[in-house]
Amino acid sequence: MQSSGWEGQLAEIVREAEAAFLLASTSKDLYELKVKFLGKSGSFQGVMKAMGALPPAEKPAAGKLVNEAKQRLEARYAEVEAALKAKELGERLAAESLDLTLPGTAWTPGAQHPVTLVMDEIAEIMSRLGYAVRTGPLIESDRNNFEALNVPKDHPARDMQDTFYIDEHHVLRTQTSPIQIRVMESEAPPLRVVAPGAVFRCDADVSHSPNFHQIEGLCVDRRVSMADLKGTISFFVGEFFGRGLKTRFRPSFFPFTEPSAEMDCQCPLCKGKGCRMCGQSGWIEIGGCGLVHPNVFQSAGLDPKQWQGFAFGFGIERMAIIKYGITDIRLYTENDVRFLKQFPS
Amino acid sequence: MKISLKWLQDYVDLADFFAKPEELARLLTSAGLEVESISDQAKQFQHVVVGHILEKGVHPNADRLSLCQVSTGDGVVHQIVCGAQNHKSGDRVVVALPGAILPGDFAIKQAKVRGVESGGMLCSEKELGLSTEGDGIVILPSDAPVGRGFAEYRGLNDVLFEIKVTPNRADCLSHRGLALEIGCLLGREVRAPKTELRRVAGAAGDVSVEIQAADLGPRYAGRLVRRVKVGPSPDWLRQRLENVGLKSINNVVDITNYVMMELGQPMHAFDTRELRGRGLIVARAVAGESFVTLDGTELKLDGTELTIRDRERTVALAGVVGGKNSGVSESTTEIFLESAYFRPSAVRRTLRKFGFETDSGYRFSRGVNPEGARLALDRATALVVEIAGGEAAAEAVDVYPSPLERAEIRVSLKWMEERLGYSVEAHDFETWMKRLGAEFRVLTPGDYLVIAPSHRPDLLIDADLLEEFARLQGYDRIPEKLPKLDTAPASHDAEYLGERRARRTLAGLGILQALNYAFLGDRAQKEFVGEARGWRDVGLHMDDEDVRILNPLNEEINVMRRALTPALYRNALHNFRNGERVGRLFEIGRSFHRRTRARSEKFAGTEFGEESRVAFCFWGGETDLWGRKEAAPPAMRLKSDLESFLRALGVTGWSWRKLDSKPSVAHPGQAAGLVLRGHLVGFIATVHPLRLEEDKFRTPVAIGELALASILEVAGLRRFQPFSAFPPVDRDVALVMSREVSAGAVAESFQRAAKRLASEGGDWLRSVEIFDVFEGSALGDGKKSVAYRLMFQSLEASLDDARVNSLRDKIVQDVCSAHDVAVR
């Protein structure tokens, strides 16, 4: 009964292993049992070795029996392992649960100041028409800020602008217009430039800041007319405030332009119907413009018989007031985080 | 400038506009005379009536208030609380009843004042908008009819326009001037002022006039009027002056003001008995002379001012203000009326020099009509004779040695078309020139010679006529086109592009951009900046002295900023106090300094320099996840943000340097300078604890300020760099060193050593990171241990352990010999 001996032994191992598998509490324990029974030096291997002593005629049948037993055990192992792993994964996931309603790591978007946002936007719109950005110093010569712009000393137009003086020959520029002079003196026409920047007036109340910002545009060419100017402003208004808003010119006076005009656009808030922002008029004043005065061309060394040009200027804060509905100009210089973070980039 | 519709009506028929004044306003605004406000008196004084105080009692709850029972003739007795003190029982007063809306949108309602019902208000001149001063309520004559509407009682049925007149349109600073403008716009006839004398003139005048400074005062006219009676003005005259914002003084002075408001010609009246001698001279002042103005201000003259003089002294500053020594008083009986033309620049210089703002100076400095002097004189003379009695001298004096020539302007329709962008018809042009009162001649068809009327001295050149024509046609006629672009656009300014890139990058890093004034207070600046040297030593341009503003608005903003951080730090403090416990701000802007240019340069002498800066202020510690870790100091955050910024700009090869000399606002042990291409370009630091304590800024704060141009200058082009496909190998090295040794400098030393060992595979060293720092007694006093992680990777092959270890050993040996450090 030698054969029944190893057969019995085989059956015993299978039974023992199956029972042990079922008792394993972790997939790691289970794996150790697999090694114990099915590994290189496991119980099963012992049976295999014993089989080597069998007569050749019995070997095929015996081999088949052993393989069947092994397959059965491996299947049982896979079954138990799957159950254990599923259980373990469940436990792990439960342990790993994270309350995502807790705050994350703080990261708030940064933001540019609305004044520079508006500057960039205007520069970008104008650059589609071929305008290049130019800058200039904030402490400017009296000559560039006034005289070359057709405002000699003792001219009543100096009353229009209260000026901060640094010394007899230098002022804090009261407008971005001196950049016009700098450009006309250093670059050959035709010219298309926009000049954004800080300007200063010796004047402060609830609606005036002594340090605010403007952007100035200048176009010089052989033939440039008021109609070209109006079309340019109209394009700008459409891009900046919204398509379909009309532009209107009103006669005005600036020493450096002739003819001069104030530019109005239809109120972007009420689309021209009349509201609180536009004082029920339907129109909002956005800046000044005109054809370059021949005296300005002459000061800058250009022959007014050969060159024509137009210039226009907007107050940046004013544009931001209209566009973003900012009502209090103090907000622009207070740098309150609650204000700044409203313009994320 | 205030303009009365009734007054305008004297000169041009505007009867159709009384019911719709806003249409006249629209017309003026679209012609360039912006109407800022309209006040319709009839509407303004609805529910404002004459009342009678039946009884004045005391308010039960307030000693300073009175409780009045007021009758308004309709049988109702109104109980009104009043704060003024100048009234008594029985007075006739002006009562604003509920429903009235007083100037300044002040609506009167039935209300409780300190617990007592009050049904209206007793009004002062100021509350009625009739005067800018006066505290007491208006007490009317005792015969004022109770219940009568106040507007009707005072003849206030005018419409007043507040018009913003641009500096070029001095001709519109008077009623007749504006009437001429409206007449031109509407094509209506404009009437001439009445100048005929009511009484035939008396004997010839004996006051002579001589002009000695014709360059400044080309014309001087005047007329003697004898036996005048100075006294109060008649109601109509007082009313008209008050309506346009002038105070009534006496009939003679009022007439000079009236003519100025009517014709735009400033006038003056001398009391001839106070003059020394019977002659007036237009001449420059005598240097050193003193002069007392009508209102008693004493001035020292330097000889450049244009004056009117008698035989001995100055009796008026020409066109600006009269002298106390010769003004009209109650006892004046003989006057000399002045009507002159002075050069705008001469008057303006005097105004500026003494800081005067007078109605006369305002008009002269903008340019009155040189040919209008005589008309105004005749008008004033006629009014004096009519109102103040008196006898005008038979003839006026009018000295005008060389009459001013009017400009001859050549202009062609084609030239105008090119500039307006629409076709200009000869008929239209000629029609407008005629309405304007210009003389013109057709040279060839479409080509004109134009002489503007004398009341429009602002029309001097072709461009002026171009504007005038376009304005009269209406700017709405201008079509919209775009100029042809037939040359390539230029590039944007490099400074702008650089700053824009910097702004966008920093905002992208989560930092908020602040924008401060370019100026601040000298004390605040000094206090924050301390010694300028500390700033210069970190590579920033800074003078010891401020660039000062000569005429600051106040002491808070009297110097240009030498640094950006002082204001930025204030912003941070403001935000901290408003509950922002943690925050990050940056600013990009200019700082200012003085520099001396060589004489050979364009502008010799002192000039000013502006340095483009980027500045930071970070405050509060940002903790990792619900406070699980210790908060990182803001200076470390600033450092890493700044490095991210540099990386984003493509800057390479920066390093940090410990600073010996630095701004005094920096914590002495927490500051570092940024080095680019061998030069310091700025610093970052924790703010000194004493400074924070003083400001009760109860959280750590870091600041940084750097020369932006120096950073942008080395911002690189983006070029692709190949990277390795082989696995990296890490090696950790812990070094023990004294606390004072800069761990960062040691890290750089690893890189340098690797470079020297290039032939032995030094270029495999990809990065050096510090991953642990600790101090402990086991290390010994004043020592720290710094752990460096070296990452090796080759572009060509996988690395084997033996070669990496040998390379590491050589590098470490090299570092240990360069610094006072040892392997732990």
Cα separation of A165 and B190, whole Å? 46
pLDDT tens, B490-532? 999 999 999 999 999 999 999 999 999 999 999 999 999 999 9
The CA distance from B435 to the nearest CA of chain A, in Å, is 18
Within-domain flag for A101:
no
Answer whether residue B363 shows pLDDT above 60. Answer: yes
Are residues A25 and A119 both part of a single domain? no
Mean pLDDT, range B569-579, rounded to an integer: 96
Domain span at residue A219 reads: 114-340
What's the start-to-end Cα distance of chain B, in Å?
Answer: 87
Are residues A204 and A87 both part of a single domain? no
**Mutation choice for A interface testing from B320, B471, B496 by most A CBs within 10 A:** B496
Contact yes or no for B610/A139 (Cβ under 8 A): yes
Mean pLDDT, range B24-45, rounded to an integer: 90
Structural domain total, chain B: 6
Structural domain total, chain A: 2
Answer whether residue B167 shows pLDDT above 80. Answer: yes
Are residues B18 and B106 both part of a single domain? no
Q: Do the Cβ atoms of A225 and B507 come within 8 Å?
A: no
DSSP state of B314: E
**CA distances to B359, B360, B439 from B347, in Å:** 12, 9, 29
Question: CB pairs below 8 Å between A and B: how many?
Answer: 249
Q: Do the Cβ atoms of B475 and A231 come within 8 Å?
A: no
Within-domain flag for B355:
yes
Are residues B688 and B791 both part of a single domain? no
Within-domain flag for B197:
no
The CATH number that applies at residue B33 is: 3.30.56.10
Q: Do the Cβ atoms of B485 and A223 come within 8 Å?
A: no
Within-domain flag for A157:
yes
Q: With 0-12 CB in 10 A as exposed, 13-18 as middle and 19+ as buried, what is A257?
A: buried
Q: Do the Cβ atoms of A335 and B514 come within 8 Å?
A: yes
Alpha helix locations (H) across B122-234?
150-154, 175-186
Are residues B543 and B653 both part of a single domain? yes
Answer whether residue B258 shows pLDDT above 70. Answer: yes
Are residues A64 and A198 both part of a single domain? no
The CA distance from B540 to the nearest CA of chain A, in Å, is 18
The CATH number that applies at residue A213 is: 3.30.930.10
Contact yes or no for A181/A149 (Cβ under 8 A): yes
B782: left (phi over 0), alpha (psi -120 to 50) or beta: left
Among B478, B486, B514, select the one facing A113 at the smallest CB separation. Answer: B514
The CATH number that applies at residue B137 is: 2.40.50.140
Q: What residues in A contact B485, CB-CB < 8 Å?
A: 129-130, 192
On whether any CB of chain A is under 8 Å from the CB of B726, the answer is no
Mean pLDDT, range B283-297, rounded to an integer: 94
pLDDT value at residue B625 = 67
The CATH number that applies at residue B652 is: 3.30.930.10
Rg for chain B, CA atoms, rounded: 40
Among B34, B349, B547, select the one facing A154 at the smallest CB separation. Answer: B349
Within-domain flag for A104:
no
On whether any CB of chain A is under 8 Å from the CB of B389, the answer is no
Name beta bridge partners: B709: none
Helix (H) or strand (E) holding A44: helix A43-51
Are residues A31 and A170 both part of a single domain? no
Q: Where are the beta strands (DSSP E) in B244-396?
A: 267-271, 279-284, 290-292, 298-300, 306-309, 314-317, 321-322, 335-341, 391-392
Within-domain flag for B484:
no
Contact yes or no for B334/B270 (Cβ under 8 A): no
Q: B533 — phi, psi (to 5°)?
A: -55, -40
Within-domain flag for A34:
yes
Within-domain flag for B724:
no
Q: With 0-12 CB in 10 A as exposed, 13-18 as middle and 19+ as buried, what is B804?
A: buried
Residues 331-360 of B with CB under 8 A from A: 344-345, 348-349, 352
The CA distance from B699 to the nearest CA of chain A, in Å, is 17
Q: What share of residues in chain B are helix, strand, coil (percent, to 5)?
A: 30, 30, 40
Q: Which of the listed residues A95, A123, A146 is the one where a domain comes to its end?
A: A95
Within-domain flag for B198:
no
pLDDT tens, B58-116? 888 888 888 999 998 888 889 999 888 888 889 999 999 998 888 777 888 888 888 88
Q: Do the Cβ atoms of B513 and A160 come within 8 Å?
A: no
**Each residue's pLDDT tens digit in chain A (345 positions)?**
444 577 788 888 888 888 888 888 999 999 998 888 888 888 878 777 777 778 888 888 888 888 888 888 899 999 999 999 999 999 999 998 888 888 776 677 899 999 999 999 999 999 999 999 999 999 999 999 999 999 988 776 676 668 999 998 999 999 999 999 999 999 999 999 999 999 999 887 777 899 999 999 999 999 999 999 999 999 999 999 999 999 999 999 999 999 999 999 999 989 989 888 888 889 999 999 999 999 999 999 999 999 999 999 999 999 999 999 888 888 999 999 999 999 887
Answer whether residue B599 shows pLDDT above 80. Answer: no
Within-domain flag for A100:
no
Are residues B543 and B456 both part of a single domain? no
Are residues B166 and B299 both part of a single domain? no
Within-domain flag for A81:
yes
Q: Do the Cβ atoms of A258 and B551 come within 8 Å?
A: no
Are residues B664 and B773 both part of a single domain? no
Contact yes or no for A202/A210 (Cβ under 8 A): yes
Contacts of residue B652, Cβ cutoff 8 Å, sequence gap at least 6 = B716
**Least CA distance to A201: which residue of chain B?**
B553
Within-domain flag for B464:
yes
The CA distance from B319 to the nearest CA of chain A, in Å, is 15
The CA distance from B289 to the nearest CA of chain A, in Å, is 24
- Its ipTM equals 0.84
pLDDT value at residue A160 = 60
pLDDT value at residue A161 = 65
Q: Using 50, 70 and 90 to split pLDDT, how confident is the model at B601?
A: very low
pLDDT value at residue B602 = 45
The CATH number that applies at residue B776 is: 3.30.70.380
pLDDT tens, B279-289? 999 999 999 99
pLDDT value at residue A14 = 87
pLDDT value at residue A1 = 40
Are residues B539 and B454 both part of a single domain? no
Are residues B34 and B82 both part of a single domain? no
Cα separation of B2 and B30, whole Å? 18
**Mutation choice for B interface testing from A141, A226, A260 by most B CBs within 10 A:** A226
pLDDT value at residue B606 = 62
Q: Using 50, 70 and 90 to split pLDDT, how confident is the model at B631?
A: confident
Q: What residues in B contact A148, CB-CB < 8 Å?
A: none
Among A110, A138, A202, select the one facing B507 at the smallest CB separation. Answer: A110
**Least CA distance to A234: which residue of chain B?**
B480
**Mutation choice for A interface testing from B492, B562, B576 by most A CBs within 10 A:** B492
Q: Which of the listed residues A62, A95, A128 is the one where a domain comes to its end?
A: A95
**CA distances to A271, B2, B257, B347, B362 from B359, in Å:** 41, 12, 9, 12, 5
Q: Do the Cβ atoms of B515 and A193 come within 8 Å?
A: no
- B627/A297: higher pLDDT: A297
Are residues A51 and A131 both part of a single domain? no
Q: What residues in A contact B592, CB-CB < 8 Å?
A: 138-139
Task: Give CA B595 to chain center in angstroms.
Answer: 28
Among B32, B421, B552, select the one facing A250 at the smallest CB separation. Answer: B32
Q: Which of the listed residues A95, A126, A148 is the one where a domain comes to its end?
A: A95
Within-domain flag for B589:
yes
Cα separation of B599 and B282, whole Å? 44
Q: Which of the listed residues B477, B503, B524 is the one where a domain comes to its end?
A: B477
The tokens for A106 are 């703080």
Within-domain flag for A103:
no
Are residues B354 and B425 both part of a single domain? no
DSSP state of A67: H
**Least CA distance to B469: which residue of chain A?**
A259
Q: Do the Cβ atoms of B487 and A224 come within 8 Å?
A: no
Are residues B33 and B180 both part of a single domain? yes
Are residues B546 and B671 both part of a single domain? yes
Are residues B63 and B123 both part of a single domain? yes
Are residues A143 and A268 both part of a single domain? yes
Are residues A76 and A193 both part of a single domain? no
Q: What residues in A contact B560, CB-CB < 8 Å?
A: 139, 166
Are residues A336 and A302 both part of a single domain? yes
Name beta bridge partners: B594: B608
- B32/B601: higher pLDDT: B32
pLDDT value at residue B603 = 47
User: Can you give the three-state secondary structure of B287-301, one letter per residue?
Assistant: CCCEEEECCCCEEEC
Are residues A278 and A306 both part of a single domain? yes
Helix (H) or strand (E) holding B387: helix B373-387
Q: What residues in A contact B583, CB-CB < 8 Å?
A: 337
pLDDT value at residue B597 = 56
Mean pLDDT, range B283-312, rounded to an integer: 94
Within-domain flag for B248:
yes
Domain span at residue B68 reads: 46-155
The tokens for B554 are 């106040």
Are residues A137 and A242 both part of a single domain? yes
For residue B79, how many other CB atoms are within 10 A of its CB? 15
The tokens for A182 are 């700098």
pLDDT value at residue A298 = 96
- Residue B669's Cβ-side half-sphere holds a number of Cα atoms within 13 Å equal to 4
Within-domain flag for A345:
no
Q: Which amino acid is at A212?
A: F
Are residues A158 and A262 both part of a single domain? yes
Are residues A75 and A222 both part of a single domain? no
Answer whether residue B719 shows pLDDT above 90. Answer: no
Q: Do the Cβ atoms of B512 and A111 come within 8 Å?
A: yes
Mean pLDDT, range B134-157, rounded to an integer: 84
